[in-house]
Amino acid sequence: MTIDLEALYLDLHQHPELSFQETRTAGIAAQHLRDLGLEVEEGVGLTGIVAVLRNDDGPVVWVRADMDALPVEELTGLPYASTAQGVDRAGKTVPVMHACGHDMHVTAMIGAVEKLVGERAEWSGTLVVLIQPAEEYGAGARAMLNDGILDRYPKPDVVLGQHVTPLAAGTIGVRTGTQMAASDGLTVTLHGRGGHGSRPHSTIDPIVMAAATIMRLQTIPSREVDPQGVGVVTVGSIHAGLKNNIIPAEATLELSLRYPDEQSRQKVLASVERIIRAEATASGAEREPEIRTDHTLPPTINDEEATARVTSALKRALGDDAVIDPGMFTGSEDVSWFARDAGAPLVFWFWGGVDPARFAEASAAGRVAQDIPTNHSPFFAPEIHPTIDVGVTALSSAAREFLD
Ligand code: ZN
Ligand code: ZN
């Protein structure tokens, strides 16, 4: 039996599902894993899957993929572009797209498991496959762990995972130490006093308060974080008001913060809070702003020894030149909760999905950031080939490094 991975990818791409709603995706993945002879449990951490392949004595390797999509309207113009819609947490109907490539992750995972099943005479140990929900909320890994997977399944000797990214297809980016940033997601409510748009002096305008706050927050990365370091403060959502002649009573901001370590995290969080409260005071607010933490993600730290082994396995499988150190990414992941809770080493790498000629051209022109759509862009579109194959080879070779 050979699984048609391209067909699987196209199907998943055209049927993206929002976080914690991935029931169709999970059903398809579970069926493939069952067909391949694995013991499969569905509904783990709401919509996740755990599948086990026991193949004699030996190490336990956890391989993880995520499967949720994003509220983004796909603008790639591809014949297989998503036209799907979904209902988000707030009950709003939104367009849905696999703008982070998690459809590619599930496809490569199924391909890698198929390969490992075919090669089972050559290795021994236990492969535990995790297909997790809601990575985009930073909540899916935690949900699976809270469901007790560490008690019910063999504990890992190593946790492996991969993410498709805007590198040239065929290239793998991996580094020892901090591979991805830590992150916090905050919701901030600024309280003003509502009133008539013609009588601003009788109100406390939360929109002006929000505008001043947003601009001032930008001085954290530019004026407070060491220029040699990394700090990101993004306000990704702002909501206030319903009509031009009504000054609303409140404004809501959603922040995404990124840093490489706990020390920078404490410093940036303190600055964010100081500025929010000070701008509210500057506006004459009568009520303190509310600052709520929606999620906290640790930095993704690759274990030194395990990463050295994976790096050499990837070089053997894909060629010496195919593996590069991409530097630390300011994106964040919840994959490391699996390794942290289990006390096991983690190796998490990136694999490229961009047409190599196009990537080389953008690179030569110094225009990678402008010309190559990144994850979460409505134009994000990994090349199907060779990206699927490279993802399959990378994941299966890395697993074999520990199982052989
Ligand atoms: Zn993402
Ligand atoms: Zn992602």
* Ligand with smallest separation from the Cα of 106: 2
* Token pair recorded at residue 250: 């409140």
Give me the residues of the chain with pLDDT under 70, please: 1
Q: What are the φ/ψ torsions at residue 73 (nearest 5 degrees)?
A: -90, 120
* Ligand with smallest separation from the Cα of 335: 2
DSSP 366: T
User: What's the gap in Å between 106 CA and the centre of ligand 2?
Assistant: 11
- Contact by Cβ (8 Å): 116, 396: yes
User: What's the gap in Å between 40 CA and the centre of ligand 1?
Assistant: 26
User: What's the gap in Å between 180 CA and the centre of ligand 2?
Assistant: 12
The reply to whether omega before 373 is within 30° of 0 (cis) is no
Beta strands in 67-203 (DSSP E): 85-87, 93-95, 125-132, 158-168, 172-173, 177-180, 182-191, 195-196
Q: What is the model's pLDDT at position 212?
A: 98
Q: How far apart are the first and last CA of the chain?
A: 24
What does the alpha-carbon distance between residue 41 and residue 58 come to, in Å, rounded to a whole number? 22
User: What's the gap in Å between 12 CA and the centre of ligand 1?
Assistant: 16
Q: What are the φ/ψ torsions at residue 149 (nearest 5 degrees)?
A: -65, -30
Under DSSP, is residue 43 helix (H, G, I), strand (E, B) or coil? strand
What does the alpha-carbon distance between residue 156 and residue 60 come to, in Å, rounded to a whole number? 5
- Contact by Cβ (8 Å): 110, 34: no
**What torsion, rounded to 10 degrees, do the Cα atoms 178, 181, 182, 183 define?**
-170
User: What's the gap in Å between 134 CA and the centre of ligand 1?
Assistant: 10
User: What's the gap in Å between 13 CA and the centre of ligand 1?
Assistant: 15
At 237, which helix (H) or strand (E)?
A: strand 232-239
- Contact by Cβ (8 Å): 106, 115: no
Q: What is the model's pLDDT at position 1?
A: 57
User: What's the gap in Å between 375 CA and the centre of ligand 2?
Assistant: 7
Q: What is the pTM of this model?
A: 0.91
User: What's the gap in Å between 135 CA and the centre of ligand 2?
Assistant: 7
Domains of the chain: residue spans and CATH: 5-179+299-403 (3.40.630.10), 182-296 (3.30.70.360)
User: What's the gap in Å between 351 CA and the centre of ligand 2?
Assistant: 12
- Contact by Cβ (8 Å): 141, 337: yes
Q: How far is CA 332 from CA 49, 126, 165, 336, in A?
A: 22, 28, 13, 10
- Single-letter amino acid, residue 355: D
* Ligand with smallest separation from the Cα of 377: 1
Q: Is 100 exposed, middle or buried (0-12, 13-18, 19+ CB in 10 A)?
A: buried
Beta strands in 10-71 (DSSP E): 39-44, 48-55, 60-66
* Ligand with smallest separation from the Cα of 66: 2
User: What's the gap in Å between 194 CA and the centre of ligand 1?
Assistant: 36
* Ligand with smallest separation from the Cα of 137: 1
Q: What is the model's pLDDT at position 106?
A: 98
User: What's the gap in Å between 63 CA and the centre of ligand 1?
Assistant: 18
User: What's the gap in Å between 35 CA and the centre of ligand 1?
Assistant: 29
- Single-letter amino acid, residue 269: L
User: What's the gap in Å between 96 CA and the centre of ligand 2?
Assistant: 14
User: What's the gap in Å between 127 CA and the centre of ligand 2?
Assistant: 23
User: What's the gap in Å between 105 CA and the centre of ligand 2?
Assistant: 9
User: What's the gap in Å between 114 CA and the centre of ligand 2?
Assistant: 23
Q: What is the largest CA-CA distance in the chain?
A: 79
* Ligand with smallest separation from the Cα of 350: 2
User: What's the gap in Å between 7 CA and the centre of ligand 2?
Assistant: 21
Q: Count the Cβ atoms, other than its own, within 10 Å of residue 223.
A: 10
What does the alpha-carbon distance between residue 24 and residue 149 come to, in Å, rounded to a whole number? 22
Q: What is the model's pLDDT at position 37?
A: 98
Residues 6+ apart with CB under 8 A from 150: 341, 342
What does the alpha-carbon distance between residue 284 and residue 201 come to, in Å, rounded to a whole number? 12
